[in-house]
């Protein structure tokens, strides 16, 4: 069984992927754009004054929100201190933003945010309900919590071929409804996007380039790898000589009462 990976291990995987993430994480880019659109649609007439984004990475969501002028004052976080240099150019000439590195679970959170958001990041947190309780407490009354994560259907191919606990906090729609029961749910949208990838080995490279292999129990010995590739090709062909890889994102928006 895979345990939730410790922060230094998660950080090391994302650090290695920083250079390739923007080019390879096409699905995450779409997810971030969709989340920013939903956030803009839920905006109060006067806009959000104060926002907190955690797990900013290379800034897909940060950029999409900035492009929509969603918020006047930003606190931005990522586990990796290097993320600050990734997002600083987005705020050139804009003083009302601050970056804090570290695990969001351990961060001292200021209070009174109109918006708290994260794209493709909360599934790395071990105890999501505990984090949600803290985030909710940091929202103003009427403030919006807007998150995009993944359901247990995410990477179903890998789940099938390498059974066991994914080591990730993947929650489905019912879990989110329960976890957000104290807020007014504005939107809950789960989807699936099936990528066609040239080979199982390319799937592993794709995971590596996007940093999401920190908890993957991939059989690295040559014998296991070749058995994994054979089984992958046999069970998940894409009909054109390659294989499938299923992304299963879920978006939730909720308002504090
Ligand atoms: C898949 S990337 C998503 C980046 C960006 N939000 C996007 O939409 O592309 C996940 C990011 O979450 C960060 N992360 C992982 N665990 C974290 C934690 N406990 N606290 C803060 N950030 C975390 C990683 O360092 C990484 O940059």
Query: What are 2-32's pLDDT values in tens digits?
Result: 567 889 988 888 898 888 888 889 999 999 9
Structure tokens belonging to residue 118? 């994260």
Residue for token pair 């071990």: 126
**Which one-letter DSSP state was computed for residue 240?**
S
**For a pocket test of ligand 1, which of 59, 62, 78, 126 has the largest count of ligand atoms closer than 8 A to its C-beta?**
78
Query: With pLDDT > 70 as the criterion, what percentage of the chain qualifies?
Result: 96
Span 136-149, mean pLDDT? 98
Ligand 1 centroid, distance to 121 Cα (angstroms): 4
| Residue 158 falls inside a structural domain | no
Ligand 1 neighbour 57 (Cβ under 6 A): yes
pLDDT confidence tier of residue 130, bands split at 50, 70 and 90: very high
Please tell me the distance between residue 65's alpha carbon and the centre of ligand 1 in angstroms. Answer: 16
Boundaries of domain holding 29: 7-151+168-193+246-255
Contacting residues for 256 by C-beta, under 8 A, at least 6 apart: 136, 139, 140, 141, 142, 143, 144, 145, 183, 184
**Index of the ligand 1 atom closest to the CA of residue 62:** 6
**CA angle centred on 12, ends 207 and 97, rounded to 5°:** 100
28 lines ligand 1 (CB under 6 A): yes
With a 6 A CB cut-off, is 166 part of the ligand 1 pocket? no
pLDDT for 26:
94
**pLDDT 10s digits, 189-198:** 999 999 999 9
Instruction: State mean pLDDT over 194-219.
Output: 84
Residue 214 has pLDDT above 80, yes or no: no
Test site for ligand 1: of 39, 62, 79, most ligand atoms within 8 A of the Cβ: 79
Q: What is the pLDDT of residues 220-238, one digit of tens each?
A: 688 888 999 999 999 999 9
CATH code for position 19: 3.40.50.150
Q: Whose CA is nearest to atom 10 of ligand 1?
A: 121
Compute the distance from residue 139 Cα to the ligand 1 centre, in Å: 21
Residue 243 pLDDT grade (very low, low, confident, very high; cuts 50, 70, 90): very high
Residue whose Cα lies nearest atom 26 of ligand 1: it is 57
pLDDT of residue 222: 87
**Mean pLDDT across the stretch 126-140?**
98
Distance (Å, rounded) from C-alpha 22 to C-alpha 63? 12
Instruction: Give the model's confidence band at 1: pLDDT under 50 very low, under 70 low, under 90 confident, else very high.
Output: very low
C-alpha R_g of the chain = 18
pTM equals 0.95
Q: Is residue 24 part of a domain?
A: yes
- Candidates 146, 114, 158; CA nearest to 248 is 158
The whole-angstrom separation of Cα 257 and Cα 111 is: 15
**CB of 119 closer than 6 A to ligand 1?**
yes
Residues 135-142 have a mean pLDDT of 98
In a domain, 214, yes or no: no
Domain count across the chain: 1
- Closest approach atom of ligand 1 to CA 56: 6
Which residue's CA lies nearest to atom 3 of ligand 1? 120
């Amino acid at each position: 069984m895979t345990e939730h990976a410790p922060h230094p291990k998660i950080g090391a995987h994302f650090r290695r992927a920083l250079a390739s993430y923007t080019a390879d994480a096409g699905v995450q880019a779409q997810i971030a754009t969709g989340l920013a659109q939903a956030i803009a649609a839920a905006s109060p007439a006067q806009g959000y004054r104060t926002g907190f984004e955690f797990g900013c990475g290379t800034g897909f969501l940060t950029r999409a929100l900035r492009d929509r002028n969603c918020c006047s004052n930003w606190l931005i976080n990522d586990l990796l201190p290097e993320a600050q240099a990734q997002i600083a150019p987005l705020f050139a000439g804009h003083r009302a933003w601050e970056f804090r590195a570290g695990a969001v679970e351990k961060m001292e959170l200021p209070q009174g945010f109109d918006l708290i958001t994260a794209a493709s990041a909360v599934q790395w947190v071990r105890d999501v309900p505990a984090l949600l309780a803290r985030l909710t407490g940091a929202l103003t009354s009427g403030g919006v919590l807007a998150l995009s994560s993944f359901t247990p259907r995410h990477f179903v191919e890998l789940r099938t071929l390498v059974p066991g606990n994914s080591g990730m906090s993947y929650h489905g729609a019912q879990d989110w409804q329960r976890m957000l029961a104290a807020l007014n749910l504005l939107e809950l949208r789960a989807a699936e996007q099936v990528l066609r990838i040239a080979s199982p080995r390319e799937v592993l490279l794709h995971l590596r380039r996007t940093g999401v292999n920190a908890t993957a129990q991939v059989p690295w010995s040559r014998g296991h790898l070749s058995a994994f590739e054979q089984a992958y090709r046999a069970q998940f062909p894409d009909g054109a000589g390659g294989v499938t890889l299923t992304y299963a994102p879920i978006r939730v928006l909720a308002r504090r009462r």
